[in-house]
């Protein structure tokens, strides 16, 4: 087992690191501290640069025209791309392109033409509508939104909460109960266009992530055709399971990006700042905080790379991906917290990016499968049937 990046990986990492430091960070100095968008002219210029670097559409599978980057390299890139103020939720402000919803890669040819390809070209935006007021950890049981069969197709009634980007989306995936008698086996995934009558974005939900909000949706007699079903009837949870686990690995690595930057800043600061006649760096209390940061960062990076290595080798990696997500999201929060402490009052201000990282990292322990649920899934893998 070799943990040293290859020459090719080192070259890509260096290129992306330079891009973040020379192109993104200087722009950020002029943006609002909570900004999540670049001015259009900067965005266009940087997208063109990324395309010239051959890295546009980083997460698009090679068979759909993406650059075909392996998961280990993707982990290393995630750690680089997010080392700026907005980097946790909008690494490089999205100029590397987005892969969109993994489930759509399993769509029918007609659905791909209508939704997937325009989404990959950046022409259409999508949302993912699973969570409901009745709960998101266990959607199989909690989903109350009903889709009822009619002669023309289906009629959907119900609501969703905490849905990101639905107000700006052209379409989205809505999970609805199609068989009330069955739990997990009674939920179907529908592709729903936001312009269809009966689709409503009722309110903005403000969260700690003040760069972009979540929304609450209501479906009021929303009519959808049979062709809107993604995958099979009553098998909404069976779509793209492996692709969704894959997504979890860069999600985990992304948590580490601001943590690496915070740690680097804390080290620099500790070497300069003096209290009681000596540098902070000379104090054991501070040294231990930095060592604990180093331990958190190394352990989490190794967990992400271990998950990526299994994924690249074509071996089962669901447990490793879940572990990487929960370890990295928790460790990154601790690293940013310690780094803020080393900065003292300055660490609490909007003059530095820590406060944004601190707020946004908190959400990572709930998003993409809450950490308790990740632990639950790992326990099931470890204990198998004896858990029941």
Ligand X SMILES: Cc1cc2nc3c(=O)[nH]c(=O)nc-3n(C[C@H](O)[C@H](O)[C@H](O)COP(=O)(O)OP(=O)(O)OC[C@H]3O[C@@H](n4cnc5c(N)ncnc54)[C@H](O)[C@@H]3O)c2cc1C
Q: Single out the residue of 19, 93, 96, 128 in contact with ligand X (rule: CB under 6 A).
A: 128
Choose between 143 and 280: whose C-beta lies nearer to ligand X: 143
Residue 130 interface partner, choices ligand X, another protein, none, CB cut-off 5-8 Å depending on type? ligand X
Those residues with Cβ within 8 angstroms of residue 101's Cβ, 6 or more apart along the chain or in another chain: 119, 126, 128, 173
Pairwise CA distance, residues 92 & 50, whole Å: 10
Footprint on residues 17-56 left by another protein (CB under 8 A): 32-37, 39
Residue 35 interface partner, choices ligand X, another protein, none, CB cut-off 5-8 Å depending on type? another protein
Residue (of 161, 189, 344) closest to 270 by Cα position: 344
Residue 319 interface partner, choices ligand X, another protein, none, CB cut-off 5-8 Å depending on type? none
Pairwise CA distance, residues 118 & 169, whole Å: 12
Q: Give the x-and-dash track for 172-201 against another protein (CB under 8 A).
A: ----------------------x-----xx
Specify whether the CB–CB gap between 353 and 84 falls below 8 A: yes
Encoding tokens for residue 97? 């392109």
Of these residues, 44, 63, 368, 372, which one is catalytic?
Answer: 368
Least distance in angstroms from the C-beta of 115 to ligand X: 17
User: How would DSSP label each residue in 221-274?
Assistant: EEEEEGGGEESSTTBGGGTTHHHHHHHHHHHHHHHHHHHHHHHHHHHHHHHH-E
Least distance in angstroms from the C-beta of 232 to another protein: 31
Choose between 265 and 304: whose C-beta lies nearer to another protein: 265
User: How would DSSP label each residue in 145-193?
Assistant: -EEEE-SSEEEEEEEEEEEETGGG-SEEEEEEES-TT-SGGGEEEEEEE
Instruction: Verify binding: residue 244, another protein, rule CB under 8 A.
Output: no
Choose between 81 and 101: whose C-beta lies nearer to ligand X: 101
Give me the residues paired with residue 223 across strands. Answer: 155
Pairwise CA distance, residues 128 & 244, whole Å: 12
The single-letter DSSP state of residue 34 is T
Pairwise CA distance, residues 256 & 261, whole Å: 9
Instruction: Verify binding: residue 164, ligand X, rule CB under 6 A.
Output: yes
Least distance in angstroms from the C-beta of 39 to another protein: 7
Q: Give the x-and-dash track for 206-235 against another protein (CB under 8 A).
A: xx--xxxx-x--------------------
Choose between 42 and 193: whose C-beta lies nearer to ligand X: 193
Binders of ligand X: how many residues, by CB under 6 A? 20
Footprint on residues 157-176 left by another protein (CB under 8 A): 165-168
360 catalytic per annotation: no
Encoding tokens for residue 23? 């192109």
Q: Single out the residue of 17, 203, 334, 362 in contact with another protein (rule: CB under 8 A).
A: 203
Instruction: Verify binding: residue 329, another protein, rule CB under 8 A.
Output: no
Pairwise CA distance, residues 84 & 24, whole Å: 8
Choose between 42 and 330: whose C-beta lies nearer to another protein: 42
Active-site annotation, residues: 368
Give the interface with ligand X as residue ranges (CB under 6 A).
128-131, 135-137, 162-164, 207, 209, 214, 363, 366-367, 370, 372-373, 376
């Amino acid at each position: 087992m070799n943990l040293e990046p290859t020459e090719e990986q080192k070259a890509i990492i260096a290129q992306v690191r330079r891009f973040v430091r020379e192109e993104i960070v200087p722009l950020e100095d002029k943006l609002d501290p909570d900004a999540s968008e670049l001015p259009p002219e900067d965005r266009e210029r940087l997208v063109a640069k990324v395309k010239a670097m051959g890295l546009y559409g980083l997460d698009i599978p090679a068979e759909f025209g993406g650059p075909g980057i392996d998961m280990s390299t993707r982990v290393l890139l995630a750690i680089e791309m997010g080392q700026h103020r907005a980097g946790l939720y909008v690494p490089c402000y999205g100029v590397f392109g987005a892969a969109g919803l993994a489930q759509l890669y399993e769509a029918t040819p007609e659905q791909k033409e209508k939704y997937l390809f325009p989404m990959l070209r950046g022409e259409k935006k999508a949302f993912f509508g699973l969570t409901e007021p009745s709960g998101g950890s266990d959607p199989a049981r909690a989903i109350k939104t009903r889709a009822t069969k009619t002669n023309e197709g289906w009629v959907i009634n119900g609501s969703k909460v905490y849905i990101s980007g639905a107000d700006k989306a052209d379409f989205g995936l809505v999970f609805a109960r199609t068989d009330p008698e069955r739990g997990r086996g009674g939920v179907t995934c529908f592709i729903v266009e936001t312009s269809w009558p009966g689709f409503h974005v009722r309110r903005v939900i403000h969260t700690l992530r003040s760069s972009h909000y979540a929304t609450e949706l209501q479906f009021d007699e929303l009519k959808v055709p049979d062709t809107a079903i993604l995958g099979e009837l009553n098998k909404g949870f069976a779509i793209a399971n492996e692709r969704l686990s894959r997504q979890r690995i860069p999600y985990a690595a992304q948590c580490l990006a601001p943590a690496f930057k915070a740690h680097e800043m804390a080290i620099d600061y500790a070497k300069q700042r003096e209290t009681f006649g000596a540098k902070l760096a000379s104090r054991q209390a501070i040294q231990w905080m930095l060592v604990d940061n180093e331990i958190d960062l190394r352990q989490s990076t190794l967990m992400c790379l271990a998950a990526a290595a299994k994924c690249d080798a074509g071996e089962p990696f669901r447990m490793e991906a879940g572990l990487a997500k929960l370890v990295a999201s928790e460790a990154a929060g601790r690293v940013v917290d310690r780094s803020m402490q080393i900065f003292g009052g300055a660490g609490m201000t909007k003059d530095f990016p820590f406060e944004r990282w601190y707020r946004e990292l908190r959400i990572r322990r709930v998003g993409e499968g809450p950490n308790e649920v990740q632990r639950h899934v790992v326990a099931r893998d470890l204990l198998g049937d004896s858990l029941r």
